[in-house]
Amino acid sequence: MPKRTRNFISPDGHWRISTSKGAIMESRCQCSQADKSKEENEATCNLCRYTKELAELPNLPEEVYADNVLVIEHDTSGTVIEFNALDALRGVDCKNDPVKVAYAGKWKASRSSKTTADAMVVLQPYDWTYSTAYKGTIPENIKEESTSEVIDKKSLMVREPILFTETINLFADDFGDNGAVNMTVRIRVMPTAFFVLQRLFVRVDGVLIRIVDTRVWHRFGQNSIIREHSSHEKNVPELEAEIRKKSGPASIAKIMYNEEQLHLLVPYLNIEGPHIDKLVLPDSSTATSQ
């Protein structure tokens, strides 16, 4: 699958939105012999780059979309905001295994190599659900402030024309058929604003379900962006009992295992947040002087 790139300029002319989508990253090194002879800091294939940058992470997810990226660039301030798999995976806990379940060791062992040395590396504790608090890659020239402002959800419900929309997969895994994790980012641009939803969905069968959302909203003409981050979670036995009580046993599969309709699931989960901050864009004079 060749990489596909799309570009869009916002109606106010100040934002350039770019998306790239490609195939799942290869599981084997794609470097030529000439590439391998280069210095370590030279560009290499995606697998080598991820292995180097995420050296402490024992395993990568089964599906990593290394070429997939959302880039939002502001022309006058030079601000560039990105959403990509590499930075998302930097937030995974490489030292601790927070989900202690009976099949975790078996799952890890099935993915380790035959050698004792490799098995010891792969079997070190880490968060194999690939949960991350990643909220996008924000440049240093943006000032982050706590705020009482919120995303104008009423305006998002107005039937405005959708000028540009895209959904990008970042990574996914099925935990050896014991659940699922996937991280996606979606953007839509209307005449008055753009809105981004990045969602991490985790389901460990029989154990827990977790949804971590980051929402980014900007109204054109303003000098700031509102970012909202929240986490929803509940263990499966409690979740099944609550769904059975409120909606009947026949609804359990429909609500818990339909990833296309997570809005049915979210009300049943415990929520942490939302944590809201304002991303203040530097003015053009500040950006120019930096």
Two tokens, residue 290: 């930096």
| Cα separation, 290 vs 16, whole angstroms | 21
The pLDDT tens digits of the residues spanning 144-172 come to: 999 999 999 899 999 899 999 999 999 99
What are residue 171's phi and psi, to 5 degrees? -160, 165
Mean pLDDT over 83-88 rounds to 98
Percent of the chain beyond pLDDT 90?
Answer: 66
| pLDDT of 118 | 42
Closest C-alpha to 290, from 156, 165, 142, 182 = 142
Tokens 């060749």 locate to 2
Q: Look at 104-118, 131-145, 262-276 and tell me which has the smallest mean pLDDT.
A: 104-118
What are the pLDDT digits (tens) for 95-111?
Answer: 888 876 434 555 555 55
Check pLDDT > 90 for residue 285.
Answer: no
Do 51 and 30 meet the contact criterion of CB atoms below 8 Å apart? no
User: How many CA atoms within 13 Å lie on the side-chain side of 237?
Assistant: 1
Radius of gyration, alpha carbons of the chain: 21
pLDDT of residue 206: 86
Instruction: Measure the CA–CA gap between 59 and 89, rounded to whole angstroms.
Output: 11
Question: Could you tell me the pTM of the whole model?
Answer: 0.86
pLDDT at 165: 98
